[in-house]
Amino acid sequence: MSEPPGHACGVFGVYAPGQSVAHLAYLGLFALQHRGQESAGIAVSDGETITVVKDMGLVTQVFDERRLAPLQGHLAIGHNRYSTTGSSSWRNAQPVYRSVGDAGFALGHNGNLTNVLELSDALGMLPGMLEPELGLDSTTDSALVAELIAHEYPPEPRSDGRDLELALERVLPRLRGGFSFVLLDDARLIGVRDEHGFWPLVLGRIEAGWVLASESAALDIVGAHYVRDVEPGEMVVIDASGIRSHHYAPPTPKLCLFEFVYFSRPDTNLYGKSVHLARQRMGEELARQAPVAADMVMPIPESGIPAAQGFARASGIPYGDGLVKNRYVGRTFIEPTHQLRGAGVRLKLNPLPENIRGKRLIVVDDSIVRGTTTRQVVAMLREAGAAEVHFRVSSPPYRWPCFYGMDTGRRSELLAADLSVGEIRDYLGVDSLAYLDLDRLVAATGADGEAFCTACLTGDYLVPVPEADTKLALESPPEPIAELDGFAPTSAET
Ligand code: SF4
């Protein structure tokens, strides 16, 4: 995806007495940086006091030794944020802290709730608003969850210290949408997934304790080994007595399919399958589904690399590099406007004319969301002398917004929302265009086809989305895309 949408967040938790848990959380967040780049935070408990440090920026910008060293304790949670609800500001950074019970609790959230209005009504709030005047310091759905949990704390702390656990048991069944939570109080680390498991959360073991992480790749960096996924509808609680599990809802797994396509690191495993190998198989399937005569298969770096490798292997057409990615430029999607996103393309990707000139190219990427960057890349390849450009996408057209935790913007911003493949082909200026069929994509994952959310591809929303958002996002007429000037639809598809 040369212009990826924002992701919801990455979460990490560690219970390891005697270890420097803040440093372990820092490493875990570093491994999960791709899931959110707006803010980073760590909460640590020493058994009596919870300390939270969070700020805007990348993990390495927020934390240095001066900030990590004072964070002493035996359990910690960490969070990388990309905003899906609430603005991008310090007060919306996580973990969220609430001062209730003995020491309070902290929460980190990956995902997006769909019944915020109902939940805020239950708390007596103004519809859809989390008001600072009502005692909250944040506008996120995560802050709302924290407030609901705080409301369920008993007036007096329980002698067994299970206040947070029992408050969660009352709150979790009321939540709808996508959520993977990590939480801590003074003595316990807790991990939770929504009943559909939209977003991953894994459990790992280190010598001194336990680790929770959004992706299995984040276990490796702290020397943990994978134990199992936290199951959809499950809450795991880790403390001095060990680990215990509670299912608050029957699991109906619907992992986000885009975790396989784009979000997760290639060295992560999902449903026990290698993400990297799955992406290569997607390219192989694409070559079988939409073959074309060409001289070279090339990726949009880096998102299209594994699928391009698979395409080349299955087609027998040589694999080559046609674009160089500048490693030191940040991801363009953090730029706030179409115009700035466009400006970032030239900084980020540069063509290799010697590899391109006079060649018929098959260009592979994992998805197209807005299309602005893709169109500029195609123009660069033509300027560099490409004889033909055949674009192949290793996922189906992205037509519907995500309400469960991935920031795609409005439906009108999605290139494929109302255009046919032939119209998109003409807009991009390519000689042919093909998207991988959904059934081939699912087959390439190697996982059970029923176990995925595909709402942004099919419009079939498993969990109902808020009516107000539905009206806004699904029924409003699409806004014209500025770059469509001179665009002339044709009836031919590829
Ligand atoms: S709608 Fe799309 S991006 Fe959102 S969870 Fe479902 S598959 Fe993932």
Give percent of the chain with pLDDT exceeding 70. 85
Instruction: Tell me the CA–centroid distance for residue 51 and ligand 1, in Å.
Output: 34
Mode of pairing for the β-strands spanning 349-351 and 323-325: antiparallel
- Return the closest-CA partner of residue 146 out of 155, 154, 137: 137
Cβ atoms of 184 and 75 closer than 8 Å: yes
Over residues 351-355, the mean pLDDT reads: 96
Give SS3 for 473: helix
What are 293-305's pLDDT values in tens digits? Answer: 999 999 999 899 9
Phi then psi for residue 102, to 5 deg, are -65, -55
Cβ atoms of 290 and 325 closer than 8 Å: no
pLDDT at 466: 64
Instruction: Tell me the CA–centroid distance for residue 60 and ligand 1, in Å.
Output: 29
d(CA 76, CA 23) in angstroms, rounded, equals: 10
Question: Which tokens is 30 given?
Answer: 């570093």
Instruction: Tell me the CA–centroid distance for residue 209 and ligand 1, in Å.
Output: 33
d(CA 423, CA 489) in angstroms, rounded, equals: 5
Instruction: Tell me the CA–centroid distance for residue 263 and ligand 1, in Å.
Output: 11
* 380 within ligand 1 shell (Cβ under 6 A): no
Strand ranges of the sheet holding 105-113, from the earlier edge strand across to the other edge: 96-98, 105-113, 177-184, 189-193, 234-239, 242-247
Residue reference for tokens 């797994």: 253
pLDDT at 444: 98
- Return the closest-CA partner of residue 259 out of 366, 363, 181: 366
d(CA 423, CA 371) in angstroms, rounded, equals: 12
d(CA 438, CA 425) in angstroms, rounded, equals: 19
* 441 within ligand 1 shell (Cβ under 6 A): no
pLDDT at 387: 98
Cβ atoms of 470 and 407 closer than 8 Å: no
pLDDT at 493: 28
* 8 within ligand 1 shell (Cβ under 6 A): no
Q: Which residue puts its alpha carbon closest to atom 4 of ligand 1?
A: 402
DSSP code of 230? P
pLDDT at 449: 86
d(CA 81, CA 88) in angstroms, rounded, equals: 9
Over residues 93-119, the mean pLDDT reads: 93
Phi then psi for residue 390, to 5 deg, are -110, 115
Rounded to 10 degrees, the C-alpha dihedral 6/339/395/80 comes to -10
What are 316-328's pLDDT values in tens digits? Answer: 999 999 999 887 6
pLDDT band, very low/low/confident/very high, at 369 (cuts 50, 70, 90):
confident
Phi-psi region at 249: left, alpha or beta (left = phi > 0; alpha = psi -120 to 50): beta
Is 402 known to be catalytic?
no
- Return the closest-CA partner of residue 20 out of 182, 218, 223: 223
* 257 within ligand 1 shell (Cβ under 6 A): yes
What are 220-267's pLDDT values in tens digits? Answer: 999 999 999 999 999 999 999 999 999 999 999 999 999 999 999 999
- Return the closest-CA partner of residue 59 out of 85, 83, 76, 79: 79
| From 10-14, 143-147, 293-297, 314-318, the region with the lowest mean pLDDT | 143-147
pLDDT at 344: 64
* 256 within ligand 1 shell (Cβ under 6 A): yes
Give SS3 for 311: helix
Q: Report, in angstroms and rounded to the nearest whole number, the Rg of the chain calculated over CA atoms.
A: 23
Give percent of the chain with pLDDT exceeding 90. 73
pLDDT at 127: 45
Indicate the average pLDDT of the chain.
87
* 1 within ligand 1 shell (Cβ under 6 A): no
DSSP code of 152? T
Q: Give the number of other CB atoms < 10 A from CB of residue 191.
A: 26
- Gap between the terminal Cα atoms of the chain: 20
pLDDT at 198: 97
Rounded to 10 degrees, the C-alpha dihedral 143/146/148/152 comes to -160
| β-bridge partners, 225 | 205
pLDDT at 136 over 60: no
The catalytically annotated residue of 9, 256, 402, 456 is 9
Residue-range domains of the chain with CATH: 9-253 (3.60.20.10), 274-446 (3.40.50.2020)
* 63 within ligand 1 shell (Cβ under 6 A): no
3-state helix vs strand vs coil in the chain, percent to 5: 35, 25, 45
d(CA 170, CA 166) in angstroms, rounded, equals: 7
Entry pTM: 0.89
Q: Which atom of ligand 1 is nearest to the CA of 452?
A: 7
From 404, 445, 462, the mutation candidate for ligand 1 (largest count of ligand atoms within 8 A of CB) is 404
Question: Which tokens is 198 given?
Answer: 């939209």
* 120 within ligand 1 shell (Cβ under 6 A): no
- Rank 2-11, 48-57, 138-147, 332-341 by mean pLDDT and report only the highest: 48-57
Instruction: Tell me the CA–centroid distance for residue 454 and ligand 1, in Å.
Output: 6
d(CA 57, CA 51) in angstroms, rounded, equals: 19
